[in-house]
Amino acid sequence: MTTIVIGLLGGLALFLYGMQMMSAGLEAAAGSKMKEILEKLTSNRIKGVLVGAVITAVIQSSSATTVMVVGFVNSGMMTLRQAVWIIMGANIGTTITGQLIALDVGAIAPLIAFAGVAVITFSKKEKVHHIASIFAGLGILFIGMDMMGSAMDPLRDNEKFVRIMTEFENPVLGIIAGMVFTAIIQSSSASVGILQTLAGSGIIGLDSACFVLFGQNIGTCITAFLASLGTNQNAKRTTVVHITFNVIGTVIFTTLCIVTPLVDLIEGFTPNNAPAQIANLHTLFNVVTSLLLLPFGQYLAGFAELVLKDKPQDGAMDDEELHYIKHISNINEEKLGVSAISMEGTRLELLRMFDMAKVNVTNAFDVFVDFNKEKADQLDKKEEYVDYLNKEISKHISRVITHERNEKGSVTYSAYFTMTSDIERVSDHAANIAGYARTMDAKGMKISEYAKEDVARMKEICEKFADVIFEETGDVVDWHKRVANFEQKIDDMTVEFRDNMYTRMQQGICDGESHILFSEMVTDFERIGDHYLNISDEIMRIKLAGV
């Protein structure tokens, strides 16, 4: 028995490792492009189902696809409605593993693994490496399945074990057994493969295996459920859709197996091939359930929204004192789609941080002209928030960039890392200007109407500059020229404003000490322009990298 357990665990380890290799290969090949691919291919329900089926067929894991979808919904890259179609497709795509096992692809698995490893070893092209990893993983996956099959061969002569298997003719026991086993190993492909091996050895018949198979479809939801913990409501609803789909399919097919000769029909189609019988029933289960529920996808999403209602909005979340990360989630760096999820989350968090800094700049000029303590205090709180976001985004990038397998993705993260520092410096300069305003208010100093006009012009060009930085544009070079022109204009205006200040000093128009603070403010104004240009340079680098 010890030999059987060791062989079974070793084979399972190879199976899961092969699946991980395939997922990692697809992740590295697609990387951050996964977002663009999904946006183009989930425009309608048919395309969505096909995308889910193809991705799952490539990586041999519906769990990995569903976990990816949960992450996409959590980051806002995909709507709950779009996720429904991907999940349906994933359930269809996962049946490919069973069909390949039934076709005895394991016989040539060593050749597939060898070919993949040989290409990885001798090819110098990064993209080829990633694709070869998918094939190497496929070979290792089936070597593991063969190893499990060999380990379980002696069980066919074990009367006690065979007696336990016959207990699964009870639909409830069979479904529970399939659920629990699949939930433990977190792979329906592996558990279905093991079931095919048992059936191929004559240990379990289709009349019992069918109920175990249905339970396995429910048990695979555990991986997505675990991935949804700590995510937003829509991401959790994605898991509800996944569970609902499989429960409805199980109810329908359990009923069919009990009251109709469905099992006999499946057996008659491939009478001497038990693994093929299970593979065919598995495919039928998921294809038929998908076709039945395809017209009702919106209702599945609606049901999930009914089960998990929106939480009441917490007013404290708008409080500047309550700092939190909105778009970045701590997800497993090895999961499929993590590059696209993490990159989009980082981009959205940077935009959020930039919006805060931009508002601070506007408010800083306002309080310098007409001091308002409440507005100045809000600016200081927002500045603390920007500092917090700078720290958290930088920590996140430092963590995920080590797992980024795509060169273009690395360029993007490097640019984001630099940008977050520049955005933080913009907010610092805004806080400096607000500090000068506090000093002027405390000492009762005033600036002339002429100076106020200069400050109004500073505010106006900073707002225009900020609006152009993240502008969506077709021609990157022309966009960057416009950005550079803004920065040059700020430099020219800096000289002009200093000249104006000296003229007012000579004429005695403004308070003497206020000139010093005005000069300091002009320096901060010029530095804001420099940092805006730095941010634009990094965006240019990303765009030229084709990301």
Q: Which residues contact 112 (CB under 8 A, 6 or more apart)?
A: 105, 135, 136, 138, 139, 142
**HEC profile for 18-61?**
HHHHHHHHHHHHHHHHHHHHHHHHCCCHHHHHHHHHHHHHHHCC
Asked, for residue 96, whether it belongs to a domain, the answer is yes
Asked, for residue 344, whether it belongs to a domain, the answer is yes
Residue 453 amino acid letter: E
Same domain membership, residue 302 and residue 169: yes
Same domain membership, residue 386 and residue 284: no
Same domain membership, residue 432 and residue 371: yes
For 6-16, letters b (16+ CB in 10 Å) and e give ebbeebbebbb
Asked whether the beta carbons of 239 and 90 are under 8 A apart, the reply is no
Residue 334 amino acid letter: E
Asked, for residue 482, whether it belongs to a domain, the answer is yes
Which pLDDT value is given to residue 511?
64
Q: Which residues contact 541 (CB under 8 A, 6 or more apart)?
A: 411, 415
Rounded CA separation 429/433 (Å): 6
Tokens of 146: 């063969």
Rounded CA separation 304/33 (Å): 29
H or E element at residue 416: helix 407-443
Which pLDDT value is given to residue 168?
81
Question: Would the CA dihedral through 349, 351, 353, 359 be positive or negative?
Answer: negative
Asked whether the beta carbons of 134 and 25 are under 8 A apart, the reply is yes
Asked, for residue 316, whether it belongs to a domain, the answer is no
Q: Work out how many domains the chain is built from and give that number.
A: 2
Asked, for residue 415, whether it belongs to a domain, the answer is yes
Same domain membership, residue 161 and residue 78: yes
285, 307, 329 - which closes a domain: 307
Asked, for residue 418, whether it belongs to a domain, the answer is yes
Smallest Cα–Cα separation from 64: which of 347, 286, 338?
A: 338
For 102-111, letters b (16+ CB in 10 Å) and e give beebbeebee
Model confidence pLDDT, tens digit, residues 218-254: 998 887 888 777 677 888 899 999 999 999 999 999 9
Same domain membership, residue 352 and residue 303: no
Asked, for residue 317, whether it belongs to a domain, the answer is no
Rounded CA separation 316/431 (Å): 24
Same domain membership, residue 396 and residue 257: no
Same domain membership, residue 489 and residue 450: yes
Q: DSSP assignment, residue 201?
A: T
Rounded CA separation 39/340 (Å): 12
Same domain membership, residue 204 and residue 121: yes
Same domain membership, residue 62 and residue 148: yes
Q: Residue 391's domain is classified under what CATH number?
A: 1.20.58.220
Same domain membership, residue 353 and residue 226: no
Tokens of 199: 């059936």
Rounded CA separation 127/130 (Å): 5
pTM, 2 dp: 0.71
Burial class of residue 322, CB neighbours in 10 A (0-12, 13-18, 19+): exposed
Asked whether the beta carbons of 421 and 390 are under 8 A apart, the reply is yes
Which pLDDT value is given to residue 8?
81
Which pLDDT value is given to residue 318?
47
* Strand positions, DSSP E, 319-368: none
Residues of the chain with pLDDT under 70: 1, 27, 30-43, 156-158, 161-162, 230, 311-322, 329-338, 404-406, 473, 510-512, 546-547
259, 291, 307 - which closes a domain: 307
Which pLDDT value is given to residue 77?
73
3-class state of residue 273 by DSSP? coil
Asked, for residue 437, whether it belongs to a domain, the answer is yes
476-507 and 512-544 are packed helices; what angle lies between their axes, rounded to 10 degrees? 170
Smallest Cα–Cα separation from 199: which of 93, 140, 95, 270?
A: 270
- CA atoms within a 13 Å half-sphere pointing along the CA-CB vector of 323: 15
Smallest Cα–Cα separation from 95: which of 294, 278, 337?
A: 278
Q: Provide the domain limits for residue 245.
A: 2-307
Q: How many CB atoms lie within 10 A of CB 370?
A: 11
Tokens of 210: 């069918």
Same domain membership, residue 260 and residue 352: no
Which pLDDT value is given to residue 329?
67
**Nearest-10 Cα torsion for 12, 14, 17, 23:** -90
Distance from the first to the final alpha carbon of the chain: 54
Same domain membership, residue 99 and residue 218: yes
Angle at 63 between CA 277 and CA 337, to 5 degrees: 135
